[in-house]
Amino acid sequence: MVSDPRNRRPNLRSVPTGSDAAGGGAGEASPLAGGDSFPERLDGRVALVTGAGSPDGIGYATARRLSAMGASVAIVSTTRRIHERATELGVTGFVADLTVEAEVGALTDAITEQLGPVDILVNNAGLASKASPEVVRPVAQLTYDEWRAEIDRNLTTAFLVSRAFVGGMTEHGWGRIVNLAATAGPVNALPAEAGYAAGKAGVVGLTRALAMELVADGITVNAVAPGIIHTGASTLVELKQGYGSPMGRPGAPDEVAAAIAFLCSPSASYITGQMLVIDGGNSVREAQYR
């Protein structure tokens, strides 16, 4: 949660620093049948990336890629540093606590008013940060409030934001939703991280349920599950584990962003309800022989 009460409300007078042309309304490119070019551009689309406050995080890297592909991008985080990131990227920044239903509603209105209906949603909010570290405690010692905090920031945020924007996507008959899961939960688990693992496993369940609900409306819903990624929130222990992976290094935020951007593109039109693991093969290896 944000300690400064001024940062607890969405900034409805956000600081637009890039192109503010309204998105939406662009027709989807036809699937290729032997053409010479690939329809990877997102011109005319409006994209929202949540949890993009860190300059070396997955959300920031994703927003940069989507903007480079031509989308009008909005980014959101819980603190006003999001406006620094927006200035750097040439996009539009908003402040909101996405675990609060009313703030998500106000955010939805503000983005729609300033940029137009959202076509692409990347639910990245929820990943741990230095300012908001995950709760590491065995289940027997985990308090109910700690459990709720982990579930709310990792799963409830994706539910509230997705619910807020799927109606508009359905009306336009096109949409892309990519949710950030993790290998912890859907693939494996670590002791003392039950809340985080449960939240991320829930993200995959939400992804698949939404995919089936929206498949007839031209909307795809997928998840990516990063392993150890070198971000500003990475601990020395995590980085050491990354260097022990089959590739001999942790992943980079832009490597995750590249996968997310593909799933947001017109070319990914026949992929829905899937989870893509991005961990350098770490979850495939049965044992470490080095």
Long-range contacts of 128-131 (CB under 8 A, 24+ apart): 128/196, 128/233, 129/53, 129/54, 129/57, 129/232, 129/233, 130/232, 130/233, 131/79
Cα distance between residue 127 and residue 153, in whole Å: 8
Cα distance between residue 206 and residue 66, in whole Å: 23
First to last CA, the chain: 42
Backbone phi, psi, residue 161, to 5°: -70, -40
Q: Are 79 and 7 in contact (CB under 8 A)?
A: yes
**144 belongs to the catalytic site:** no
Q: Which helix (H) or strand (E) holds 16?
A: strand 15-16
How many C-beta atoms surround the C-beta of residue 22 within 10 A? Answer: 14
> By three-state DSSP, how is residue 222 classified?
strand
Cα distance between residue 26 and residue 28, in whole Å: 7
Query: Which CA distances in Å does 165 have to 105, 120, 173?
Result: 10, 9, 13
Residue of 60, 144, 196, 243 marked active site: 196
Backbone phi, psi, residue 120, to 5°: -130, 130
What one-character-per-residue DSSP string does 148-180 give?
A: HHHHIIIIIHHHHHHHHHHHHHHHHT-EEEEEE
Cβ contacts of 140 within 8 Å, gap of 6 or more: none
Instruction: Give the active site residues.
Output: 196
